[in-house]
Amino acid sequence: MSSSVATKSGKTFLPKVDHNNKKWWIVDLEGVTLGRTATKVADILHGKNKPIYTPHMDVGDHVVVINAEKVKVSGDKEKSIKYYRYSGYPGGLSEVALEKMRSKHPERIFEHAVRGMLPKTRLGRSMFRKLHVYAGTDHPHEAQQPEKLTFA
């Protein structure tokens, strides 16, 4: 009788991740809903769309997001969603409505939504670095030849 306990296959599969061979995707936010698109982008950054997904490894791809200023929100969320910042000083809490954030920094709306869906660890921070959000249609990632990602 053996003293060691083995799994059915005998070995644990650990994928080899080639960081130079990650795919690039492009997502157009014109006319799409913020939350639904953010969850799908977070899954791609996390690598959950791949068969080699492993929770403790960064196997996700890069995502370029364009037209962040044209993303939709439903209902009265344009005025009711608030973004908070705290400077660390007494009375240093500031809040900005989504409506004002859209006029000043439209890319931060989508970044904030995706960041909340990633792990709150150093692994999550490395996943978030693969997200590239731009307010308009111009972006400097044409050389990577990103594939268009559509949500049907």
DSSP-based three-state secondary structure for 129: coil
User: Cβ distance 119 to 43 under 8 Å?
Assistant: no
Confidence band, pLDDT 50/70/90 cuts, at residue 152 = low
Binned at pLDDT 50, 70 and 90, residue 60 comes out as very high
Domain 23-72+104-148 = CATH 3.90.1180.10: yes
Enumerate the domain spans of the chain. Answer: 23-72+104-148
Whether residue 133 is predicted with pLDDT greater than 60 in this model: the reply is yes
Mean pLDDT within 60-80:
95
The single-letter code of the amino acid at 108 is: R
Euclidean distance between CA atoms 130 and 148, whole angstroms: 16
pLDDT of 6 strictly over 60: no
**pLDDT value of residue 4:** 45
